[in-house]
Structures are given as C-alpha cells and as structure tokens.
Structure 1
Amino acid sequence: MIAGFDLRQAGRMAGAAALPVAMLVLVALMVIPVSPTILDISFIGNIMISLAILMVALSASKPLDFSSFPTVLLLATLFRLALNVASTRVVLVHGHEGTAAAGHVIEAFGRVLIGGDYVVGLFVFVVLMIINLVVITKGAGRVSEVSARFTLDALPGKQMAIDADLNAGLLTPDEAKARRQEVATEADFYGSMDGASKFVKGDAVAGLLILFVNIVGGLILGMSSHGLSFSEAGATYVTLAIGDALVAQIPALLLSIAAAAIVTRVASPHDLSGQIGSQFASPHVWMAVGGILFILGLVPAMPQMLILPASALAFAIGWQMRRTAAEAEAAPPPAAPAPDPHHIEWADVSDIGPCQLEIGYALVALVDDRKGAPLMGRITGIRRQLSRELGFVVPAVKVTDDLSLPGNAYRISIAGVIVGEDEVFPHEMLALDSGDLVTKVTGRPCKDPTFGLDALWIPKASQNDAIAAGYTVVDPATVVATHLNNSIIASAAELFGIDDAQALIDHLKAHYPQLAQNLCPQGYALPRVAALCKALLVERVPLRDFRKIAEAMVALAGQQLGDVELVEAVRQRIGALIVQTIVPSRMPLPVVTFSPDVEMLLNQSVRANPGAEWPFEHGMAMKIIEQIGQAVEPLLLSTRSFALVASPLCRSALSRLVRATFPDVAVISYLEIPANKATEIVATIGAEVPRLTGDSAAAMEEHQHED
C-alpha cells in the first residue's frame, strides 16, 4: 500500500511538473542553438501534436468536452513559433552548407513537396496562407466572436431558468449547482475561444513574416558572408525558407481546422463523424442525388463514364439504407427474460413506501410523461416546499396504478396507513363554492376532498362560465396534489424517523460542531432526539431551526426530565418559533383562553391522574370539546389564525384532546408566548362543565383544601 501510494504520489508530482518543464524547453528552443537532429524530432513532434488536437476536436460530442482547447492552442502555437525561431537560426547560420544543413524534415518539405522548384514552393505556400488566413481562420474567428457574444447575452436567462426549475422542484440543489457551473464554464470557454482565434490569425501572419525574413536574410548572408552568387543563394536559402515555412504551416493549418471544428460544433450525443453520418443516413437524400446525377449524365457534353457510375453508387447507398431501416422496423423487440417462479424478492413481500399514492386506471394520464405528467411535477414541487416548511426531507411519493380501485379513484397512504381517498375526473374541472356566487352552474355535486367544501364537477368547456359565476375552478391534478399536501402535513410525524434525526444532527455537525457534540450522543441518545422531533411535528411545530431546538435540549440535559416534560420544556424555550408559525411577527397573537374556574378544573384533573394520556373524565371532556367548538368554529370559518392558550400543566393533555376533533387548532401554554409579543383575546371558554366523580373528585377536593 505504501509503495503504491508513493508511486501514485510520484506520478501526480511528475504530471504537475511536466507543464513548467515544457515551457522551459520552449524558451530554450528560442535562445539556445540546437542541432538539426533535434529540429527534425521537434518538427515531427509538432505534427503529431497537431494531429492529436485535431482528432480530439473531431471526436468531441460538444464544445465543452474539449474545454482546455484555448490553452492547448496557445501552447501548440508557442511551440511552433519556438521551432520557427530555432530553424531560422539554423537556416541562416548553416544554409550555405546545402539544403540538408537544417535537417532532413525541412529538406524533404523543400525538395519533395515542391518538386525542387522554389518558385513553385513559394506559390504553394501563398495558397496555403490564403486558405488558412482568409478562409479558415477568419471564419472561425467570426464564429467565435458571435458565439461568445450570444453566450454571454444568454447567461442571465439560463441562470434564471435554472432557478425556476429549482424552485419548481424539477432539479435538486446539487443538479442546479452543476448546471450553473456548466453555464459559467460555457461562457468562459467561448470567451477564451474568441481570444484564441486571434492566436491562430497572428500565427498565420507570423509565418508569412518569418518566410520573408528567411529569404531576405539568406540572400544577404549567402552573397555577403559566404561568397555565393544570387542564383546560388536563392536556390539554397529560398528552398530552405520555403521548406521551413511549409513544415510550420501544415501544423498551423491542422490547428486552424481544429479550432473551426470546435467553434462550429453543435451539442450532440455523437461525435462529429457520428453526427454527420446520422444526419446523412436518409435514403430519400441519396435517391434524389442519384436521380440528379443520372439526368446530368444524359447531357452529351458531360463525362458519362464518370457521372453515371456515381449515379449508380448513390442509388445503391439509398437502397441499402432503405433496406436497413425496413429490417430494423420488422425486427421483433428482444424478449424479456422469463421470471423465475421459485425466486421471491423483497418487492414481492412488501411494496409500501413511506408515502404512496395509488390511482385508478382512468387517472394514468395525470402521470404519463407523454401527456406532460401534470401531477408528477406538482408532487415534486410539494415535496420541495414541504421539506423547506417542515425542516426535513420529505420522502419521495411512490405513485402506482391499482386495478382494484375504481377508474377515477385515488388513495393516499402514509407509513402504510390510508389517510385519504376520493375520486377525480381527469377530463373535467372541480368548481368550488366560494360562498359568494353570482349564479349557479350545472354539474355533478360533490365535496372537495381536502377541505370538505361544496363543489361541482363540470366540463372543461364550462370553466369560464363557472369563474364568471364566482366559483373557484381547479384542475384534477391540483385537486389530488392539494389533498396529498394536506395529508403529508397532517402525518409529518409518521414520515420522520431515526435516519432523519441523524441527518439533522449531521447537518448541525457541519455548521455547529460543538453543539452537535453536546447534543448526541453525550447529551441524548438518537432515538430520544427522534422522539422529541416527532412530538413537535405531531403538533405541527416545524424543525426548520433545528439549532434552536438542539440548544434547548442541551440546556435541559442536566435535568432529569421524562419525555413529556422534555417536550414541554423545549417548547417553552422555542416559544417564539412556535408563535411565528401561527401569526406574523408584527401582528398581535389572537388567543382563546379559559376562565379561571375551567382552567383550575383542567389542572386538577391532570394532578389527579399524573402521567395519564387522557386525564379528563369523559363527560367533562365532551363538554369542554363542545364549548371549544362553539368558540373556535367561527374563527376557523373565517380562516383567522389563533391559538388556544392553557396553563403549562395541562397543555399537553389538552392538546391531545383538542387535536382529535380540531387538528388545525394550535394549543400553547402561557410560557410559550414571548414577553414582548402582544396578544388579543378573541374568545373565553367559561361555561359550566360536569362535576367529576369518584377518585378524581376526591383528589380535586383534597387539592382544593391544600390550596
């Protein structure tokens, strides 16, 4: 292991040192005389590097696959210019010795490629310069400039689209971060390519100037220093200069082609050859080409022996493509392997997720991707929004079709328990009675699945009429999504488990390590932390600010408190968080209170049955619920936020009693209201309640005598 680590470490160090060493070699080529042999090796390496860059550019699926291209282009250009400097020195110093004095590569390009005639070589070089400078480099530079401008202009819109997808729940935070990084990299890439195209253009101009320097300098040195005639100096130095220029110009042409291929590339799952091949793989195109060539070959003046075979070849390609396509369509799909009847998996035993939505066959269109899947997008948005509100990651909702359900029915299950079921009609709209109708519309009467309001199922064509009549009209996907949203909120505690508690502690540890260390395991066991969080969620207290909850638990760690006492003590320390979930911070808190007699009776019931989950006598409990209903129902109908306030002693038991009938009513204690929070008493419960009997009455009388 140590040896392997040392080898890997040495490899990384060698790779990090390779680039600085290469830059030193470039500088050395410019200032230190080198032998013709080293020049030959360097020229061949330059051609090899240019070919490798061209192959990578052609095989990239999208421009960002070769995001290092601008830097690679700069380094390759510097390498080629360094070779130009080194070869110029050799040509001018040793050119009088003959065409082999600058190395075999320059001699081969100077003699073989231009046929030994330096005038022809000069014209060939000029043609290559025109192709590279005027056509390829200029076009690639223009494309780079326009691409950089359009990419930078589109950058704010792309970032806003990513934020919109993130808010809609279509992207996770990590996916959004990766998308933003990709957009920023794309903008940087095209900006760099705009500058890199100037390197290519400058390199082409530099090649022309270096050729001029080599020719003029060679003629002057040959005639003045070495006693050569003008024709002898021209035959030697011009041939070497042309060979040197061609040796540099061919790699420059390859890099220009690579740059043009990169900037004109359109993102595709295929490389360039695969993309071009897939777009030319149409039999109709080749049949049309064959027909046009055949008609052209019938013209008497045309070379029929060349055009007619080309026409036949085009027809053969089109016929082969048509045949291949027909065989692919006729081929049966591969058969799935038959399941082993003796093999049983866990999915066969239990297929119930933490949160499940079962739909009838008529509602499959609501989750069909081919039809937009309107319900799936809303479910993702609900999960994201509820995760922010509740303070933990709501698990994924598993949507399945159930043939045992009626076609238009759906069923919501939380932790295996059915918490809601109803039916919707995918081709109709639900019109809710707002209570302020101008006229009434015709439809199928029903109750809203979420709030139990009077409603009608109406045809989509009657939607505008219903809105004009004062109805609130919603589509079926929204009906199901709203029902699911309320069901998850009501059963949030059932979705929270020990793993979620551990995730909260891990997140706390990343930002507040000392607090997390004192919370668990030194202060509390993980199951007890999870139990406290579940108890808070049962009463719809979110876990968004888990730091405050953890601080309260750490502060209470030294006291020997039971589970119920711990929950009540934590609630009192986070009272400001609880109150702000009921009413905004700038508004007074509307409260419903108990008269002193009723509150004393409630406290005495709890003292008489310490630790009991239901300490209230049945008759008294029913009377209290009846009077609470008379006080809070007008507030609930007016959708007004309020809290039922009781003493800390009886708050927990009273909350369990009220929650069974009025789950949306928050029950808090006096100690949970911040000292600087204004309150407004909107109702007082003070009617007579039945007297207690039995042991409870005796215990109450005893407490009264003690008081």
Structure 2
Amino acid sequence: MATTTRAGRLARNTDIIVAIGIVGIIVVMVLGVPAGWLDFLITLNITGSVLILLLAVFTKDPLEFSVLPSLLLTMTLFRLALNLSTTKLILLEAHAGQVIQQFGQFVIQGNPVVGFIVFCILVVVQFMVITKGAERVSEVGARFTLDAMPGKQMSIDADLNAGIITDQEARTRRLNIQQEADFYGAMDGASKFVKGDAIAAIIILLINIIGGFIIGMVTKGMAVTDALYTYTLLTIGDGLVTQIPALLISTATGLIVTRAASDSNLGQDLAKQLFRTPKALYITSGVLIALAIFGMPRVPMLMFAAATAGMGYYLQRSTAQAAKIESAAAVKNDMDETKKPENVMNMLGMDHMELEIGYALISLVDAGQGGDLLDRIILIRKQLAGELGFIVPVIRVRDNMNLQPNQYTIKLKGAEVASGELMTDHYLAFSGGIEDDSIQGVPTKEPAFGLDAKWINASVREQAELSGYTVVDAPTVLATHLTEILKTHAHEIISRQDVKKLMDHAKEQSPAVVEELIPDLLSLGQVQKVLSNLLRERVSVRDLVTILETLADSAPLTKDIDRLTEHVRQGLARQIVQPFLNPQKKLPVLTLEPRIEQMILDNLRPSDYGSYVNIDPNVLQKLLKKIGAQVEKIMLQGHNPVMLCAPVVRISLKRMTERQLPHLVILSYNELVQGIEVQALGMVVLD
C-alpha cells in the first residue's frame, strides 16, 4: 500500500521531475561531471535510446507517441551535455570513465585508423541516410497533412450529417486531425535537431583528436604514438557512446514518421503483409535455387530456398483452412441472423427526413467532384436551429435509380412532400418583374416558391444579371427548396424526443419553470402540440423559457391546446409582429367585417380533435375568394399579406384559409403590443 502511494505521488509530480531534469542537463553542459557520474549518465542515455526505439516498434499509430518531438530535443541536449563533459575530461585528464574506455578498446582493436574509419561510417550512415530521410518524410507528411485537413473536415461533417457518426465521434476525429498536423509539423522541426547533432559529433571528434594530440605531447610529455593512441581511443569511445544512442533515436524517428495508422504494431504488420502471399515465397525459393545452380554458394542458398518454400506451403494450407472455417461461420451466421426477430425489427425503422436524388445529381453530393450539398445541408440545419428554435433531425441523402436522372424528391417520414428537377450544368434565372426575351433558356418553375424561371447557360449568366434576373446555381436551388420545405413542415417534424431535448436544455437554464410545468400541469405531449401549433404558422420556439412560463400561467385555467397556443402567441407578441412592420414601423393589415367574425364564432363546434367551423361550403368558398382578392390587392401594393381579427376566431380563421392562402399571416388584436401603429389597407366584406 505504501509503495502504491509513493508511486502515485511520483506520478503526480512528473512535471516537476522533468523540469528539474532539463535544468540538470543545462547545468551538466556548463559545469561537467566527474568520470564516475559520467559512466552512470552515459548508461542512462543508452537505456533511454533503446527504450525509445522499442516503443517506436510497438506503436500502432504515430499519435500514440506524440511526445516524440519534445523527447527528441531533450535527448539531443542530453547527448550534447555528455559530449561537453567527456571533451573536458579527455583534454584535461586523458581519461573519461570506464564506459568510454571499454567502447574505444572494443572498436579500435589496437588500430586507431580502423576505429576512426568505423566511427566516420557510423556518423555518415546516421546523417546521410536515416536522419535525412526521416527529416524529408516528416516535412512531406506535415505538408500533406495540412493540405488534406479541409477535405478530412468536410468528410467528417458529411458523415455527421448522414448520421454515420455521433457529435462526440466527430469532435474526436477533428481533434485527431489537428493533433496529426501538429505532430508532423513538430517532427519536421525536431528532425533538424538530430541532423545538427550528427554534424556536431564530427566537429567534436576532430577537436578531441587534434586538441588531445597537442595537449598530450606539449603538456603531458607523451610520445607521438602514445598521444595518438590514447586520445584516438578516448575520442572514438566517446563518439560511439553518444552516436549509438543517437542512431537508435534516429531510427525510432524514421519508424514513427513512416508508420501508417494500423490496428497492430510493426512486427505484426510485417508478419501479416510480408508473408501473406504463398506465390511470392515460391518464386523467391525458385530464384534462390537458380542462383545456387549458377555457381552461388549452395549451402546458404538452398537453406533459404527450402525455408521460403516451406513457409509458402504452410501459409497456403493455413489460408485454405481459414477460408473454409470462415465460410462455414458465415453460413452459420447468416442462418442465425435470419432466425432473429431483430432483423425484421431493423427493417421497420424509418428515417425522419430523406433527400433522394437521381444519378445525374450525385455530383452535387460528391466532394471529389466539387459537390458541396452536404455542407450546405449542415448550414441549413444550423440556420433553422437559430430561426425555428429546435434542431432539425439528420437528413439522409441517398441516390435512387428509380428517379429520373435530374430529379430529386424530399420525403418526410417515408412520404414524398416535394420534388423537382435540376440541370446541374445550367443556372436558374428568374425575374422579379419584366421578362427579357433576349435571355434564352429552358422554361421551368422555381421549385421553392413556384415562380416562373428558366434554365440558362453559364455564357449568358452575366447578361441575365444585368437584365435584372436573379441567377442561382443548381445546388442553391435545391438547398433553398429544402429549407422552405423544412420550414413549412416543421410542425410535423418536431417530435416528443425533440421536445424532451429542449426541456432538458431549458432545465439547465431555468429549472424552476420546467419542474413547475411538467408533469404536474401539462404532459410532454401537450407541450409538443403547443410547439407544433406555433411552428405550423412559422413562429419560432427559440424563446422557450417565455413559452414555458406562459404555459405555466395558463395551464391551470385551460387544457385546450388551441387556447394555450393563443396565450403563448400573446406572450411572444413582439417577436411575432416585428417581421411584418414596414420601414415606418407601422403594421399594414387587412381587417374583417364584424359580421364575418360573428358568423365564424357562431358556427364554431368543439370536437375530440379540436374546434372546427361548420359553415356552409358555398358561403365559405365565397368568403375565401373575397379574402384572396384583398390579399392579391395589397401584395400588388408591395405589402406582406397580414390580416387582423379578434382573438377568439384567429386560429379558426387560420385553419380555414391555410390551404388556399398558406402565406396569409393572421394576427389577433391581443398580439398588438404597445407602440405599434396599425395601418388598415382594406376590409373583407361579405355581401
């Protein structure tokens, strides 16, 4: 228990230990250390280098060893500090500890020239091959990673929008992309430290040999051969004990930066990928046998030929056996799956919103062909979240070979609610007034609002814009249509689960009102119906706290959904009326003859599905024609169609008119907040 406690305390203080260690390296670099301590530090350097190399071999993904760039710099400083300490001891005392002495004797073997050549080859291999290669790979990796970041981000957004991944998974993948770019950028810089270390090793070697040779003869009275042997031995030993760890770390750097992300480590990948094809092993065996026949040493050639052939035979049998087992298991799984009721249940699932496209429109979705429709859908969902006050469910985008090539359909809960056709290589042009016959194109209807329009070539786009046409590309047409459909059907889209999420969010900000309202005064379903009524007339539910407070005040008086909706509208009056004010801050409206309002009120009938108006169809049709004529009149005057009526008939009048006049806004007198001046443009009179 005491050991565990000490280990935990040590783990919590690693930052202090590392800081002290780095300061210690600087101190060693300036002051040096005795020969006994130098043996200990050199052994520590070798141990750390071997550990780093092995970690690089067993690492599955470069980001698992993301501390390597900083570690590379620290180990380089540590080696330079050791170099300075050994140089001081070699030049002053002609002795630098047992480790350097033993390394020098082992390599030189009584011949200083051979030892010097071996050391130079070792430094050149590290400098010209491993370090330079790792530096180049790091540089290219950093560049490619940064160039690929926008595409990867778009891919993540597309997967998130398609519902393939969750928000948390998307955040994790974005963080991994950022860390990967930072890692390769840091490795690009850190590799230059290793390169500089190799150059410094050659310079230190020359200084130690030349300086030691002079000091040995001049100050210590050594003979020429003794001085040359002694200082060459010490210098070569010093170079080896620092350059061998440097070589190990350079190798680890190369392994990390050339390592592709995998589910296994380097050894497992080598075994799986290098020996996965028996044919390659058989051919290799044949080549070795041919070389033995043509005069190459037969014993090693035939030994390795037999080994590769045997390995190929073993792999061939293992692969065939594994294929049989896998096939049998797949058949069994298929049979088991067909017996499971869950498979049938999965087929019952239905996407809330779907966008199906013909094959000619796939380019609008495919990022590889420049399509950005998925990104536009993400922006649409964000925009509607701000406008409507709730998050629109994920919109599934899929191709449908049963559609015409240029056709698309928008589905709500599996049922088609809208469709249209696009010409991807054309622009849609529609005018707000006078048509220009010189603008040639294919006549059509703008799908979102039903305006007369035409598909034009890109060559006449500028001319059309100069003629006063509004010109948009095909993705914008589709995005606009989709946005309009989502706004129109928002009251059908919002579900109890969506309302539950809104309640949870509101509870974080105003827990008192949520706890008071649900479930004591109203159920979640009743709140959903009120919100649906608001969205049906495009009233945003973003100010949810005000809505809930109004419901909490009104629910003790009535549980009728329509009346509750009217109370909420009065609470949101300023927000509702604001968009319809003209630049003079006046509200242009149509009004109803009082006799019409009384007729609607007299014929109002309650039912289990809400109140309805029981008026003679002929009278109703005549009334709607009168309202339509007045609406058309004020629209020609440049005003939004807004009608003002009594609160008791407002929602009933809206239900009567919404089929033939869906864009007619109907307000009640109770929604006129203080300070708003009403401008009456006309009155609907029933003969």
Q: Please give the TM-score of this superposition, normalised by the length of structure 2.
A: 0.69
Residues 665 and 378 of structure 1: CA distance in aligned 2, closer, same or farther (over 3 Å): farther
Matched, 1:533 2:528: no
1:124 aligns with 2:118: yes
* DSSP-derived class of the 1:337 partner: helix
**Aligned pair partner of 1:193 in 179, 187, 210:** 187
RMSD: 6.4
Return the offset for 1:394. Answer: 2.5
Residues 49, 245 of structure 2: 8 Å contact kept:
yes
How many angstroms apart in 2 are the aligned matches of 1:614 and 1:199? Answer: 82
CA-CA distance at 1:685 after TM superposition: 1.2
Alignment partner, residue 348 of structure 1: 345
Instruction: Report the Cα distance in structure 2 between the residues aligned to 1:370 and 1:325, rounded to whole angstroms.
Output: 43
Which range moved further: 63-72 or 407-416?
Answer: 407-416
Deviation per CA, 1:426-446, whole angstroms, max 9, x where unpaired? 99x9x999998989x9x9xx9
Q: Which runs of 5+ in 1 are unaligned?
A: 689-707
- Rounded to whole Å, the distance in 1 between the matches of 2:614 and 2:7 is 73
Tell me if structure 2 keeps the 8 A contact 1:414–1:488. Answer: no
Q: Is the 8 A contact 2:87 2:208 kept in 1?
A: yes
Q: Distance in 1 between matches of 2:436 and 2:316?
A: 65
- In structure 2, do the counterparts of structure 1 residues 454 and 172 end up closer, same or farther at CA, with 3 Å as the change threshold? farther
User: Which moved further from structure 2: 46-55 or 340-349?
Assistant: 340-349
Alignment of 1:88-99 (within 5 A): 88=87, 91=90, 95=94
In 1, Cα distance between the equivalents of 2:252 and 2:630? 79
Task: Indicate if the aligned counterparts of 1:508 and 1:547 stay in contact, CA closer than 8 A.
Answer: yes
- Equivalent runs, 1:211-222 vs 2, <5 Å: 211-215=205-209, 218-219=212-213, 222=216
Matching residue of 1:204:
198
Match runs of 1:483-502 below 5 Å: 488-502=486-500
C-alpha separation between the residues in 1 aligned to 2:430 and 2:151?
A: 41
Asked whether the 8 Å contact 1:102–1:240 carries over to 2, the reply is no
Within 1, Cα distance between the matches of 2:675 and 2:90?
91
For 1:43 and 1:215, the matched residues in 2 are separated by: 20
Q: Determine if the alignment matches structure 1 residue 102 to structure 2 residue 105.
A: no
Residue in 2 that maps onto 1:76: 75
Selected match of 1:568 from 547, 566, 569: 566
Q: 1:111-510 to 2 correspondence within 5 Å?
A: 111-138=105-132, 140-141=134-135, 154=147, 181-182=175-176, 184-215=178-209, 218-219=212-213, 222=216, 228-262=222-256, 274=269, 334-335=330-331, 336-339=333-336, 343-345=340-342, 347-348=344-345, 351-353=348-350, 355=352, 377=374, 386-396=384-394, 420=417, 488-508=486-506
- Following superposition, the deviation at residue 260 of structure 1 comes to 4.4
Report the 3-state secondary structure (helix = DSSP H, G, I; strand = E; otherwise coil) of the residue aligned with 1:392.
Answer: coil
Secondary structure in structure 2 of the residue aligned to 1:521: helix
Residue 595 (structure 1) aligns with? 593
Write the deviation string for residues 635-667 of structure 1: whole angstroms up to 9, x where unpaired.
899998523322223212322333355444332
- Hey, what does 2:12 align to over in structure 1? 13
The letter of the residue matching 1:198 is K
- The residue that corresponds to 1:659 in the other structure is 658
Query: Could you report, residue by residue, the CA deviation over 1:32-55 in whole angstroms, capped at 9, with x for unpaired residues?
Result: 63553x544543442332233334
Question: Taking structure 1 as reference, are residues 603 and 670 closer, same or farther at Cα in structure 2, changes over 3 Å only?
Answer: same
Alignment correspondent of 1:649:
648
What does the per-residue CA deviation read over 1:523-561, in whole Å, with 9 as the maximum and x for residues that have no partner?
55462544432231232223244455457667x579856
Within 2, Cα distance between the matches of 1:604 and 1:339? Answer: 65
The 3 A distance-change label for structure 1 pair 307 and 497 is: same
Cα offset, 1:595, TM superposition: 2.9
- Contact 1:223 1:233 (8 Å CA) reproduced: yes
Distance 2:206 2:638 in 1: 89
| SS of alignment partner, residue 649 of structure 1 | helix
State the distance in 2 between where 1:325 and 1:423 align.
58
Does the 8 Å contact 2:149/2:177 carry over to 1?
A: no
Is the 8 Å Cα contact of residues 592 and 685 (structure 1) preserved in structure 2?
Answer: yes
Change (3 A) 1:339 1:315: closer
* Mean CA deviation greater in 365-374 or 584-593: 365-374
The sequence identity of aligned pairs, in percent, is 32
Q: Would the aligned equivalents of 1:286 and 1:314 in 2 still touch at CA under 8 Å?
A: no
| Residues 1:426 and 1:605: Cα distance change in structure 2 (over 3 Å) | same
Compute the displacement of 1:455 (Å): 13
Match for residue 466 of structure 2?
Answer: none
Contact 2:131 2:194 in 1 (8 A): yes
Aligned mates of 1:363, 1:378 — CA distance in 2: 19
1:22 aligns with 2:21: yes
Partner of residue 705, structure 1? none
- Structure 1 Cα separation of the partners of residues 341 and 170 of structure 2: 39
Q: What is the deviation of 1:75? A: 1.3
Kindly provide the CA deviation profile for residues 464-508 of structure 1, in whole angstroms up to 9, marking residues without a partner as x: 9xx9xxxx9999999999987666544433432343223224434
| Partner of residue 33, structure 2 | 33
Shift of 1:384: 5.8
* Equivalent in the alignment of 1:577: 575
The 3-state SS of whatever aligns with 1:684 is strand
Distance 1:276 1:380, change over 3 A: farther
Match of 1:519 in 2: 513
CA 1:489 to 1:20, structure 2 compared with 1: closer, same or farther past 3 Å?
same
Alpha-carbon distance in 1 for matches of 2:139, 2:419:
59
What is the rounded CA distance, in whole Å, between the counterparts of 1:265 and 1:452 in structure 2?
A: 56
State the shift of 1:613 in Å: 1.6
How many angstroms apart in 2 are the aligned matches of 1:349 and 1:271? Answer: 37
In structure 2, the gaps of 5 or more residues are: 462-469
Q: By how many angstroms is 1:80 displaced?
A: 1.9
The alignment partner of 1:592 has SS state of strand
Q: Secondary structure at the match of 1:520?
A: helix
State the alpha-carbon separation in 1 of the partners of residues 354 and 153 from structure 2.
32
Distance 1:481 1:212, change over 3 A: closer
**Relative to structure 1, is the Cα distance of residues 341 and 128 closer, same or farther in structure 2, using a 3 angstrom cutoff?**
closer
Q: Which residue of 2 aligns with 1:54?
A: 53
Distance 1:162 1:411, change over 3 A: closer
Provide the rounded CA distance (Å) in 2 between the counterparts of 1:583 and 1:327.
77
